[in-house]
Amino acid sequence: MSKYWNKLINDIEPYVAGEQPKPGQKVIKLNTNENPYPPSPKVKEALDSFNPADLRLYPDTNSTIVMKAAAKFDGVSEKNIFCGNGSDEVLAIAFQTFFEKKAFTGLPVLMPDFSYSFYPVFSEFYDIRRKTIPLKEDFRLDPDDYIGVPNCGIVFANPNAPTSRAIAVLEVERIAKANPDSVVIVDEAYVAFEENYESAVSLIGKYNNICVIRTLSKAFSLAGIRLGYAVGSEELIEGLKRARDSFNSYPVDRLAQTVAEAALLDVDYYNETRSKIIATRKRVAKELAGIGFTMPPSSANFLYAKPPVDCGTLYQNLRNKGILVRYFNKPVLNEYLRITIGTDDEMKALIEAIKEEVKNAENS
Protein backbone atom coordinates (compact mmCIF):
# COMPACT_ATOMS: atom_id res chain seq x y z
CA MET A 1 0.00 0.00 0.00
CA SER A 2 1.18 3.50 -0.72
CA LYS A 3 -0.52 6.86 -0.60
CA TYR A 4 1.31 7.68 -3.85
CA TRP A 5 -0.28 4.82 -5.77
CA ASN A 6 -3.72 5.24 -7.22
CA LYS A 7 -6.62 3.03 -6.13
CA LEU A 8 -6.15 0.62 -9.04
CA ILE A 9 -2.49 -0.04 -8.20
CA ASN A 10 -3.27 -0.33 -4.51
CA ASP A 11 -6.09 -2.82 -5.18
CA ILE A 12 -4.71 -4.95 -8.00
CA GLU A 13 -3.24 -8.41 -7.51
CA PRO A 14 -0.52 -8.48 -10.18
CA TYR A 15 0.37 -11.56 -12.22
CA VAL A 16 3.04 -13.69 -10.57
CA ALA A 17 5.58 -15.09 -13.03
CA GLY A 18 7.27 -18.45 -12.41
CA GLU A 19 10.34 -18.39 -10.17
CA GLN A 20 13.49 -17.17 -11.92
CA PRO A 21 16.77 -18.66 -10.65
CA LYS A 22 19.25 -16.21 -9.21
CA PRO A 23 22.14 -15.27 -11.52
CA GLY A 24 24.66 -18.14 -11.54
CA GLN A 25 22.28 -20.54 -9.74
CA LYS A 26 22.22 -23.97 -11.41
CA VAL A 27 18.76 -25.50 -11.60
CA ILE A 28 16.73 -27.71 -13.88
CA LYS A 29 14.15 -25.18 -14.92
CA LEU A 30 10.82 -26.78 -15.78
CA ASN A 31 8.51 -24.07 -14.45
CA THR A 32 7.87 -21.49 -17.20
CA ASN A 33 7.38 -23.60 -20.33
CA GLU A 34 10.54 -22.39 -22.01
CA ASN A 35 12.10 -24.46 -24.77
CA PRO A 36 15.11 -26.53 -23.61
CA TYR A 37 16.76 -26.29 -27.03
CA PRO A 38 18.58 -23.22 -28.36
CA PRO A 39 16.99 -21.11 -31.10
CA SER A 40 17.71 -21.78 -34.79
CA PRO A 41 21.36 -21.45 -35.89
CA LYS A 42 20.03 -18.79 -38.29
CA VAL A 43 19.50 -16.60 -35.24
CA LYS A 44 23.22 -16.60 -34.52
CA GLU A 45 23.96 -15.79 -38.16
CA ALA A 46 21.52 -12.88 -38.01
CA LEU A 47 23.09 -11.59 -34.80
CA ASP A 48 26.61 -11.94 -36.22
CA SER A 49 25.72 -9.79 -39.19
CA PHE A 50 23.79 -7.23 -37.11
CA ASN A 51 25.38 -3.79 -37.25
CA PRO A 52 25.40 -2.16 -33.76
CA ALA A 53 25.51 1.26 -35.44
CA ASP A 54 21.89 0.67 -36.46
CA LEU A 55 20.90 0.81 -32.81
CA ARG A 56 21.09 4.62 -32.86
CA LEU A 57 17.90 4.59 -34.93
CA TYR A 58 14.42 3.82 -33.65
CA PRO A 59 13.09 0.49 -34.86
CA ASP A 60 10.42 0.10 -37.53
CA THR A 61 7.05 0.67 -35.82
CA ASN A 62 5.31 -2.22 -37.54
CA SER A 63 8.26 -4.66 -37.41
CA THR A 64 7.76 -5.11 -41.15
CA ILE A 65 10.44 -7.79 -41.55
CA VAL A 66 8.77 -9.84 -38.81
CA MET A 67 5.30 -9.19 -40.24
CA LYS A 68 6.48 -10.54 -43.59
CA ALA A 69 8.16 -13.60 -42.05
CA ALA A 70 5.13 -14.33 -39.84
CA ALA A 71 2.76 -13.88 -42.80
CA LYS A 72 4.82 -16.41 -44.76
CA PHE A 73 4.91 -18.80 -41.81
CA ASP A 74 1.14 -18.58 -41.26
CA GLY A 75 0.11 -18.41 -44.92
CA VAL A 76 -1.65 -15.04 -44.58
CA SER A 77 -1.07 -11.49 -45.81
CA GLU A 78 1.26 -9.24 -43.82
CA LYS A 79 -1.79 -6.98 -43.38
CA ASN A 80 -3.14 -9.67 -41.06
CA ILE A 81 -0.18 -9.48 -38.64
CA PHE A 82 0.47 -7.23 -35.64
CA CYS A 83 3.75 -7.56 -33.70
CA GLY A 84 4.42 -6.73 -30.08
CA ASN A 85 6.87 -7.07 -27.22
CA GLY A 86 5.96 -10.64 -26.28
CA SER A 87 2.48 -12.08 -26.57
CA ASP A 88 1.70 -10.75 -23.09
CA GLU A 89 1.91 -7.27 -24.55
CA VAL A 90 -0.11 -8.25 -27.62
CA LEU A 91 -2.77 -9.75 -25.32
CA ALA A 92 -2.80 -6.60 -23.20
CA ILE A 93 -3.28 -4.43 -26.28
CA ALA A 94 -5.98 -6.79 -27.57
CA PHE A 95 -7.88 -6.53 -24.26
CA GLN A 96 -7.75 -2.74 -24.53
CA THR A 97 -8.78 -2.76 -28.18
CA PHE A 98 -11.57 -5.31 -28.31
CA PHE A 99 -13.16 -5.53 -24.85
CA GLU A 100 -15.27 -2.78 -23.30
CA LYS A 101 -14.73 -1.06 -19.96
CA LYS A 102 -17.29 -1.53 -17.16
CA ALA A 103 -18.17 2.14 -17.43
CA PHE A 104 -19.48 1.58 -20.96
CA THR A 105 -21.09 -1.86 -20.79
CA GLY A 106 -22.64 -4.33 -18.41
CA LEU A 107 -21.29 -7.18 -20.52
CA PRO A 108 -18.38 -9.32 -19.35
CA VAL A 109 -15.46 -10.88 -21.20
CA LEU A 110 -15.81 -14.66 -21.00
CA MET A 111 -12.82 -16.78 -20.01
CA PRO A 112 -12.31 -20.30 -18.61
CA ASP A 113 -12.05 -20.61 -14.83
CA PHE A 114 -8.67 -22.32 -15.16
CA SER A 115 -6.58 -20.67 -17.82
CA TYR A 116 -3.64 -18.32 -18.27
CA SER A 117 -3.63 -16.35 -15.03
CA PHE A 118 -2.78 -13.10 -16.82
CA TYR A 119 -6.32 -12.86 -18.30
CA PRO A 120 -8.07 -11.96 -15.02
CA VAL A 121 -5.24 -9.53 -14.21
CA PHE A 122 -5.69 -7.76 -17.54
CA SER A 123 -9.44 -7.55 -17.00
CA GLU A 124 -8.86 -5.94 -13.57
CA PHE A 125 -6.16 -3.62 -14.86
CA TYR A 126 -8.26 -2.39 -17.79
CA ASP A 127 -11.48 -2.33 -15.74
CA ILE A 128 -13.30 -4.90 -17.86
CA ARG A 129 -16.03 -7.00 -16.29
CA ARG A 130 -15.34 -10.75 -16.55
CA LYS A 131 -17.30 -13.98 -16.27
CA THR A 132 -15.37 -17.16 -15.71
CA ILE A 133 -16.80 -20.26 -17.35
CA PRO A 134 -15.99 -23.54 -15.57
CA LEU A 135 -14.08 -26.13 -17.55
CA LYS A 136 -15.56 -29.63 -17.44
CA GLU A 137 -14.33 -31.96 -14.72
CA ASP A 138 -11.73 -33.44 -17.08
CA PHE A 139 -10.51 -29.87 -17.88
CA ARG A 140 -12.19 -29.89 -21.29
CA LEU A 141 -13.42 -26.55 -22.62
CA ASP A 142 -16.96 -27.05 -23.91
CA PRO A 143 -17.81 -24.62 -26.76
CA ASP A 144 -21.51 -24.84 -25.84
CA ASP A 145 -20.67 -22.95 -22.63
CA TYR A 146 -19.68 -19.93 -24.76
CA ILE A 147 -22.83 -19.91 -26.88
CA GLY A 148 -25.82 -17.77 -25.94
CA VAL A 149 -23.97 -16.05 -23.06
CA PRO A 150 -24.04 -12.24 -23.44
CA ASN A 151 -20.48 -10.90 -23.56
CA CYS A 152 -18.21 -8.11 -24.76
CA GLY A 153 -15.56 -10.61 -25.87
CA ILE A 154 -14.08 -14.05 -25.30
CA VAL A 155 -10.53 -15.15 -24.50
CA PHE A 156 -9.03 -18.59 -24.02
CA ALA A 157 -5.77 -20.37 -24.60
CA ASN A 158 -5.73 -23.29 -27.03
CA PRO A 159 -4.05 -25.52 -25.93
CA ASN A 160 -5.06 -24.26 -22.54
CA ALA A 161 -2.60 -23.49 -19.76
CA PRO A 162 -2.06 -24.82 -17.18
CA THR A 163 -4.33 -27.74 -18.12
CA SER A 164 -2.55 -28.64 -21.43
CA ARG A 165 -5.78 -29.69 -23.20
CA ALA A 166 -6.75 -28.44 -26.64
CA ILE A 167 -10.00 -28.16 -28.56
CA ALA A 168 -10.31 -28.67 -32.32
CA VAL A 169 -10.38 -25.71 -34.69
CA LEU A 170 -13.96 -26.70 -35.61
CA GLU A 171 -14.92 -26.02 -32.00
CA VAL A 172 -13.15 -22.64 -32.03
CA GLU A 173 -15.15 -21.91 -35.18
CA ARG A 174 -18.42 -22.72 -33.42
CA ILE A 175 -17.61 -20.19 -30.71
CA ALA A 176 -16.66 -17.46 -33.20
CA LYS A 177 -19.69 -18.12 -35.39
CA ALA A 178 -22.08 -17.96 -32.43
CA ASN A 179 -20.61 -14.63 -31.24
CA PRO A 180 -20.38 -12.49 -34.38
CA ASP A 181 -20.53 -9.19 -32.43
CA SER A 182 -17.58 -10.05 -30.16
CA VAL A 183 -13.91 -10.63 -30.77
CA VAL A 184 -12.74 -14.13 -29.84
CA ILE A 185 -9.09 -14.12 -28.76
CA VAL A 186 -7.47 -17.52 -29.23
CA ASP A 187 -4.10 -17.62 -27.49
CA GLU A 188 -2.05 -20.23 -29.33
CA ALA A 189 1.16 -19.96 -27.31
CA TYR A 190 1.44 -23.78 -27.25
CA VAL A 191 -0.21 -24.77 -30.53
CA ALA A 192 2.99 -26.12 -32.09
CA PHE A 193 3.30 -29.01 -29.65
CA GLU A 194 0.93 -31.41 -31.37
CA GLU A 195 2.19 -33.41 -34.35
CA ASN A 196 -0.36 -32.36 -36.95
CA TYR A 197 -1.61 -29.27 -35.25
CA GLU A 198 -4.37 -27.11 -36.61
CA SER A 199 -4.33 -23.37 -35.99
CA ALA A 200 -7.33 -21.06 -35.81
CA VAL A 201 -5.37 -18.88 -38.26
CA SER A 202 -7.10 -20.97 -40.94
CA LEU A 203 -10.38 -19.28 -39.90
CA ILE A 204 -9.39 -15.66 -40.17
CA GLY A 205 -10.34 -15.32 -43.86
CA LYS A 206 -13.82 -16.51 -42.97
CA TYR A 207 -14.44 -14.74 -39.63
CA ASN A 208 -13.59 -11.09 -39.00
CA ASN A 209 -13.87 -11.60 -35.25
CA ILE A 210 -11.07 -14.11 -34.57
CA CYS A 211 -7.79 -12.81 -33.19
CA VAL A 212 -5.12 -15.49 -32.88
CA ILE A 213 -2.20 -14.69 -30.59
CA ARG A 214 1.18 -16.27 -31.25
CA THR A 215 4.52 -16.16 -29.44
CA LEU A 216 8.11 -16.93 -30.35
CA SER A 217 8.84 -17.70 -26.67
CA LYS A 218 7.94 -21.38 -26.79
CA ALA A 219 8.29 -23.29 -30.07
CA PHE A 220 10.93 -20.87 -31.43
CA SER A 221 13.04 -20.91 -28.23
CA LEU A 222 13.04 -17.11 -28.01
CA ALA A 223 11.52 -16.22 -24.63
CA GLY A 224 14.55 -13.96 -24.13
CA ILE A 225 13.74 -11.53 -26.94
CA ARG A 226 10.05 -10.91 -26.20
CA LEU A 227 8.26 -11.24 -29.51
CA GLY A 228 4.60 -12.07 -29.95
CA TYR A 229 2.15 -11.34 -32.70
CA ALA A 230 -1.55 -11.33 -33.49
CA VAL A 231 -3.12 -12.74 -36.64
CA GLY A 232 -6.55 -11.42 -37.58
CA SER A 233 -8.69 -9.60 -40.10
CA GLU A 234 -7.38 -6.25 -41.35
CA GLU A 235 -10.11 -4.57 -39.30
CA LEU A 236 -8.81 -6.13 -36.07
CA ILE A 237 -5.16 -5.43 -36.91
CA GLU A 238 -5.96 -1.78 -37.60
CA GLY A 239 -7.58 -1.53 -34.16
CA LEU A 240 -4.52 -3.02 -32.46
CA LYS A 241 -2.30 -0.46 -34.20
CA ARG A 242 -4.52 2.38 -32.99
CA ALA A 243 -4.14 1.13 -29.40
CA ARG A 244 -0.38 0.59 -29.79
CA ASP A 245 0.12 4.08 -31.17
CA SER A 246 -1.70 5.50 -28.16
CA PHE A 247 0.73 3.75 -25.82
CA ASN A 248 4.15 2.91 -27.30
CA SER A 249 4.74 3.17 -31.01
CA TYR A 250 8.07 1.25 -31.01
CA PRO A 251 7.32 -1.89 -29.00
CA VAL A 252 9.76 -4.25 -30.73
CA ASP A 253 13.45 -3.32 -30.75
CA ARG A 254 15.77 -3.76 -33.72
CA LEU A 255 17.62 -6.76 -32.32
CA ALA A 256 14.38 -8.57 -31.54
CA GLN A 257 13.07 -7.91 -35.06
CA THR A 258 16.25 -9.27 -36.66
CA VAL A 259 16.26 -12.38 -34.49
CA ALA A 260 12.54 -13.06 -34.88
CA GLU A 261 12.69 -12.84 -38.66
CA ALA A 262 15.55 -15.35 -38.81
CA ALA A 263 13.74 -17.81 -36.53
CA LEU A 264 10.38 -17.59 -38.31
CA LEU A 265 12.02 -18.33 -41.65
CA ASP A 266 13.73 -21.50 -40.39
CA VAL A 267 10.70 -23.78 -40.46
CA ASP A 268 12.81 -26.97 -40.65
CA TYR A 269 14.49 -26.20 -37.35
CA TYR A 270 11.14 -25.32 -35.76
CA ASN A 271 9.75 -28.69 -36.83
CA GLU A 272 12.86 -30.50 -35.60
CA THR A 273 12.74 -29.09 -32.06
CA ARG A 274 9.00 -29.36 -31.61
CA SER A 275 9.14 -33.01 -32.72
CA LYS A 276 11.82 -33.70 -30.12
CA ILE A 277 9.67 -32.10 -27.41
CA ILE A 278 6.57 -34.02 -28.47
CA ALA A 279 8.49 -37.32 -28.35
CA THR A 280 9.90 -36.55 -24.90
CA ARG A 281 6.47 -35.50 -23.62
CA LYS A 282 4.89 -38.79 -24.71
CA ARG A 283 7.59 -40.80 -23.02
CA VAL A 284 7.53 -38.77 -19.79
CA ALA A 285 3.71 -38.92 -19.61
CA LYS A 286 3.94 -42.73 -19.69
CA GLU A 287 6.67 -42.78 -17.05
CA LEU A 288 4.73 -40.48 -14.73
CA ALA A 289 1.58 -42.57 -15.18
CA GLY A 290 3.67 -45.60 -14.21
CA ILE A 291 4.59 -43.86 -10.94
CA GLY A 292 0.91 -43.18 -10.21
CA PHE A 293 0.41 -39.67 -11.61
CA THR A 294 -2.80 -38.85 -13.42
CA MET A 295 -2.98 -36.14 -16.08
CA PRO A 296 -5.15 -34.88 -18.92
CA PRO A 297 -3.83 -35.60 -22.44
CA SER A 298 -1.32 -32.86 -23.24
CA SER A 299 -1.13 -30.91 -26.50
CA ALA A 300 1.47 -28.54 -25.07
CA ASN A 301 5.14 -28.50 -24.07
CA PHE A 302 4.19 -29.31 -20.49
CA LEU A 303 2.25 -31.88 -18.51
CA TYR A 304 -0.40 -31.04 -15.97
CA ALA A 305 0.11 -33.90 -13.59
CA LYS A 306 -1.48 -34.94 -10.30
CA PRO A 307 1.00 -36.84 -8.14
CA PRO A 308 0.13 -39.85 -5.97
CA VAL A 309 1.62 -37.97 -2.98
CA ASP A 310 1.06 -34.52 -1.44
CA CYS A 311 1.60 -32.06 -4.25
CA GLY A 312 2.87 -29.08 -2.25
CA THR A 313 5.43 -31.24 -0.44
CA LEU A 314 6.62 -32.82 -3.70
CA TYR A 315 6.98 -29.38 -5.31
CA GLN A 316 9.03 -28.12 -2.36
CA ASN A 317 11.24 -31.22 -2.18
CA LEU A 318 11.96 -31.06 -5.92
CA ARG A 319 12.82 -27.40 -5.50
CA ASN A 320 15.23 -28.32 -2.69
CA LYS A 321 16.88 -30.73 -5.15
CA GLY A 322 17.30 -27.92 -7.70
CA ILE A 323 14.38 -28.88 -9.93
CA LEU A 324 11.84 -26.12 -10.49
CA VAL A 325 8.32 -27.05 -11.62
CA ARG A 326 5.21 -24.87 -11.37
CA TYR A 327 2.82 -25.20 -8.48
CA PHE A 328 -0.24 -22.98 -8.06
CA ASN A 329 -1.31 -22.88 -4.43
CA LYS A 330 -5.02 -22.36 -5.18
CA PRO A 331 -8.03 -24.69 -4.81
CA VAL A 332 -8.07 -27.53 -7.40
CA LEU A 333 -4.83 -26.28 -8.99
CA ASN A 334 -2.93 -27.18 -5.82
CA GLU A 335 -3.42 -30.87 -6.59
CA TYR A 336 -1.34 -30.63 -9.78
CA LEU A 337 2.18 -29.81 -10.88
CA ARG A 338 2.74 -28.13 -14.24
CA ILE A 339 5.91 -29.68 -15.59
CA THR A 340 7.64 -28.20 -18.63
CA ILE A 341 9.16 -30.71 -21.04
CA GLY A 342 12.93 -30.30 -20.93
CA THR A 343 15.72 -32.24 -22.60
CA ASP A 344 15.81 -36.02 -22.21
CA ASP A 345 18.56 -35.69 -19.60
CA GLU A 346 16.60 -33.12 -17.59
CA MET A 347 13.51 -35.32 -17.64
CA LYS A 348 15.55 -38.32 -16.55
CA ALA A 349 16.79 -36.36 -13.54
CA LEU A 350 13.22 -35.27 -12.79
CA ILE A 351 11.81 -38.81 -12.95
CA GLU A 352 14.58 -40.13 -10.70
CA ALA A 353 13.96 -37.38 -8.15
CA ILE A 354 10.20 -37.98 -8.24
CA LYS A 355 10.62 -41.75 -7.79
CA GLU A 356 12.78 -41.11 -4.76
CA GLU A 357 10.25 -38.66 -3.28
CA VAL A 358 7.31 -40.99 -3.85
CA LYS A 359 9.23 -43.86 -2.22
CA ASN A 360 10.13 -41.65 0.78
CA ALA A 361 6.50 -40.54 1.15
CA GLU A 362 5.28 -44.13 1.05
CA ASN A 363 7.79 -45.20 3.70
CA SER A 364 7.07 -42.33 6.06
The residues of the shown chain that bind ligand PLP, judged by CB under 6 A, are: 33, 86-88, 116, 157, 161, 187, 189, 215, 217, 223, 228
In DSSP terms, which residues pair with 84 in a beta bridge?
228
Closest CB to ligand PLP among 40 and 215?
215
Give the integer Cα–Cα distance in Å for 303 and 163. 8
Closest CB to ligand PLP among 35 and 80?
35
Nearest-approach distance from CB 228 to ligand PLP, in angstroms: 4
Closest CB to ligand PLP among 107 and 237?
237
Give the integer Cα–Cα distance in Å for 250 and 238. 16
**Beta-strand pair 210-215/302-305:** unpaired
* CB-CB contact of 220 with 38 (8 Å): no
Instruction: Fill in the DSSP letter of residue 107.
Output: P
3-state SS of 146-168 is HCCCCCCEEEEECCCCCCCCCCC
Closest CB to ligand PLP among 107 and 186?
186
Q: How far is CA 66 from the centre of its chain?
A: 19
* CB-CB contact of 284 with 341 (8 Å): yes
Closest CB to ligand PLP among 223 and 291?
223
Nearest-approach distance from CB 86 to ligand PLP, in angstroms: 3
Q: Where are the alpha helices (DSSP H) in the chain?
A: 7-11, 41-48, 64-74, 87-98, 118-125, 169-178, 234-244, 254-265, 267-291, 311-320, 344-363
Closest CB to ligand PLP among 191 and 350?
191
Nearest-approach distance from CB 51 to ligand PLP, in angstroms: 27
CA atoms within 13 Å, Cβ hemisphere of 324: 16
Q: How far is CA 162 from the centre of its chain?
A: 9
Nearest-approach distance from CB 219 to ligand PLP, in angstroms: 11
Nearest-approach distance from CB 119 to ligand PLP, in angstroms: 9
Nearest-approach distance from CB 248 to ligand PLP, in angstroms: 15
Nearest-approach distance from CB 312 to ligand PLP, in angstroms: 22
Give φ, ψ of 230 to 5 degrees.
-110, 145
Nearest-approach distance from CB 352 to ligand PLP, in angstroms: 27
Q: Is the peptide bond before 162 cis (omega within 30 degrees of 0)?
A: yes
Closest CB to ligand PLP among 74 and 88?
88
Closest CB to ligand PLP among 30 and 161?
161
Nearest-approach distance from CB 112 to ligand PLP, in angstroms: 11
CA atoms within 13 Å, Cβ hemisphere of 101: 6
Closest CB to ligand PLP among 248 and 360?
248
